[in-house]
Structure 1
Amino acid sequence: MKKKQTILIIRIMLFTGTAISMFFVPWILLRVMLAPLPATVQQQVDKSVKYGFDGIIVYVDEAGEAPAFYTAGYKNRENKTPADPHSLFKIASISKLYDAVAITKLVNSGHLSLDNTVAQYFPEFSDRIENADDITLRMLVQHRSGIANLTATPNFWADPPASSQEALERIFDLPADFKPGKKYKYSNTNYLLLSMLIEKVTGADKFQFIRKEILKPLGLKNTFGSMDEVDVDDVMSGYYVGIDEDIKAGEYGTKLTSMLATAEDVGIFLRALNDGSVFNPGEQEIYSGIYVYEHTGLMPGYQSIAKYHKDIDTVVIQFVNTTNFQGYTWNLSEIMYRKIVRIIRKQQKH
């Protein structure tokens, strides 16, 4: 399929949806929710293919046990390549956890202040972002800035920006969603600004700082800043419902960079985040006051869930390489994830 045709179809799907998907959404969700709980995680993962997912990877790290890997479906649908538990995956917004840790480290070292404002850090943007004089660094991290979400601007996914600056220009001069600090509203613009701030303060690429301060101390060698750093064949393919082609390497999928990682690397990082071993003295107290300890990720072709479950001392990471923003793939993924956690809890009790 030609690139222009692909983009046109994606645009139609993203902003209008289809009558067929709307009709079937509640029934398939109800059927999956009411289905009997399988005896094993692998049995539940196997069911994902029947629900329309092309491929799935699940990583389970139970305290005191060797990590377990589960897969079903394809890494590459066209070539019938089975899902590989060690494939790289675009983790999308899970990367915000790494960004928040990076900000924490810079605050702890005195390079940043949570009380300084956007106008102080970015005077060049102060007249283009409403309330820049009142939006603090803390508000950016906590999604309490009121700055419009750049990914909600017209045609963002169908015609993604080519650079961070171009992405930021999508929200310049737009009215604020609310007064700074008054509400919570998730906005990817907040973390674009944080990424730019990390680079401004350190004088280096953001991912270089993350690699030095977070990944290397944890021994993580399978986490990367963008597709440019990896062999494309090592990356799990991404699919959008209604599009036949793999979108992982095309212009549509790569104008916006996404961190990539294996499920195991994300799992190791998440446990270190929750047990505090990713932090230096004084940092965990700062982090706990500004951000969360779990996250999800969603972008065309890739959806992910990364959580630590304290009651069973278990990290569960789930990667699914099929999306449909106007359909039900995300809801199905969440149901699948919850069932997997239920199975683990049940097994631990026995």
Structure 2
Amino acid sequence: MLMIISVLLFITGCNNSGKYKTIETGVQTNLVTTLDAVLEANLNADGPGLIVSVWQNDKNLYTGMKGVARPMQPISEDTQFRLASVSKTFTAVAILKLYEQGLLGLHDSIVDYLPELDSSWQEISIHHLLTHQSGIPDIFNDLNTHEVINNDITNPKILQYFIENHQLEFGSGRKEEYSNTGYILLAEIITKVANMPFPEFMDLEIFAPLNMNNTYILDEDVDITERTAMNHAQHHQIYGRNVFAVGSSSQVSSMHDMERFMYALMAGKILQAETMRLMLKAHISKADSSLNGTGYGIFYFSGDGKTAYGHSGKHDGFRTIYAINRDKNAFIIMLGNGGDYMPDFTYVMDLAGEFLE
């Protein structure tokens, strides 16, 4: 099988929550007919949908899609989806690029880079943010974001909130608790250290070198492109608000661009070998992790805590996931805008896993 993935529920909410029961079409004669069948049975051609891509040994085994990105615009490999929390992997890679350049240390205090934060946060390091060990409340899951942030939800507003409200949930490094806030602060640190806006740094260091021409960071200063999928194929707001949580969930990418990134990451073309080792190290053990081990911007999905890793996301109707199996030299990517009314991601991945050698 591609991976053991049932433990994803805590992080992503990718599985359906009772609103829709996946029609299980079972294993067919080959991968293409198997995945085509499950998409055909579970999605409407004129409703929000999903695109799936499976690769092994640098060869595309399957790419299939069904549904629309917005009214009258079918999903394609160039459709741009909000990646939700899959954005965190890219933010972690950006931090590691700065680390390689000698511009920051992973165990530096975040207050060294964001001195406007309260001095009581001095013990919180970049490492703690990367591994969800900071103790900083999650702006989305621990707080009622719509009450503490007025109107559009942006990084400057979130940063200001935590400048004024610096109570931690636990001491840094004591345990792991998933925090979107940590990755928002990482984006702010990147802006300070690189001396340029986060979206500009991401384009310069990651997107442009990999020819990720359908990828951008959606913040309050960027116009949404015509190829960007709508939430439930109806609107661009998230739970009724404009959300620009840069660093945590605001990257927009196409399937073509995600494939380029996955290939380059696996081939060692983005980070140096030693840096990649740091990224994939299980800094939090399986026993103490929400999943089977936590690296920098990734979680381990497989029970052995070393074979299959990746990240996934949920942002209102957007559902995303990528998973890499190192032993099988394979990866799978799924990008959707149909919320809970899509086939269960776990089921689709299990079907794909049946055909990996």
Aligned counterpart in structure 1 of residue 225 of structure 2, from 207, 224, 232:
232
Equivalent residue, structure 2, for 1:58: 52
Equivalent residue, structure 2, for 1:260: 252
Contact 1:44 1:340 in 2 (8 A): no
Q: List 4+ stretches of structure 1 deviating above 6 A.
A: none
Aligned counterpart in structure 1 of residue 234 of structure 2, from 238, 241, 246:
246
Distance, in Å, in 2 between the alignment partners of 1:42 and 1:173 is 50
**Structure 1, 255-264 or 91-100: larger mean CA deviation:** 255-264
Equivalent residue, structure 2, for 1:8: none
Q: Which secondary structure does the structure 2 equivalent of 1:234 belong to?
A: coil
**1:49 and 2:49 matched:** no
Query: Quick one: percent identity of the two aligned structures?
Result: 22
Aligned counterpart in structure 2 of residue 145 of structure 1, from 105, 109, 134:
134
The structure carrying a bigger helix percent of its residues is 1
Distance, in Å, in 2 between the alignment partners of 1:213 and 1:58 is 27
Contact 1:248 1:301 in 2 (8 A): no
Q: What is the TM-score normalised by the length of structure 2?
A: 0.75
What is the deviation of 1:279? Answer: 1.2
Structure 2 unaligned segments of length 5 or more: list them.
1-15, 282-294, 299-308
Contact 1:237 1:246 in 2 (8 A): yes
Q: What is the TM-score normalised by the length of structure 1?
A: 0.77
**1:250-304 deviation line (CA, Å, top 9, x unaligned):** 8724454511110121122123223322113642233234512511121122110
Higher RCO by CA contacts (8 Å cutoff, separation 6 or greater): 2
The aligned runs of 1:171-186 (5 Å cut-off) are 171=162, 172-173=164-165, 175-186=167-178
CA RMSD of aligned residues (A): 3.0
Aligned counterpart in structure 2 of residue 333 of structure 1, from 336, 341, 344:
344
**1:73 and 2:84 matched:** no
Equivalent residue, structure 2, for 1:119: 111
**1:164 and 2:155 matched:** yes
Amino acid at match of 2:91: D
1:269/1:133 Cα in 2 relative to 1: closer, same or farther (>3 Å)?
Answer: same
Contact 2:216 2:251 in 1 (8 A): yes
Distance, in Å, in 1 between the alignment partners of 2:274 and 2:130 is 18
Distance, in Å, in 1 between the alignment partners of 2:165 and 2:237 is 33
Amino acid at match of 1:37: V
Distance, in Å, in 1 between the alignment partners of 2:256 and 2:92 is 20
Contact 1:59 1:68 in 2 (8 A): yes
Equivalent residue, structure 2, for 1:136: 125
Equivalent residue, structure 2, for 1:189: 181
Structure 1 unaligned segments of length 5 or more: list them.
1-20, 240-244
Larger radius of gyration: 1
1:201/1:236 Cα in 2 relative to 1: closer, same or farther (>3 Å)?
Answer: same
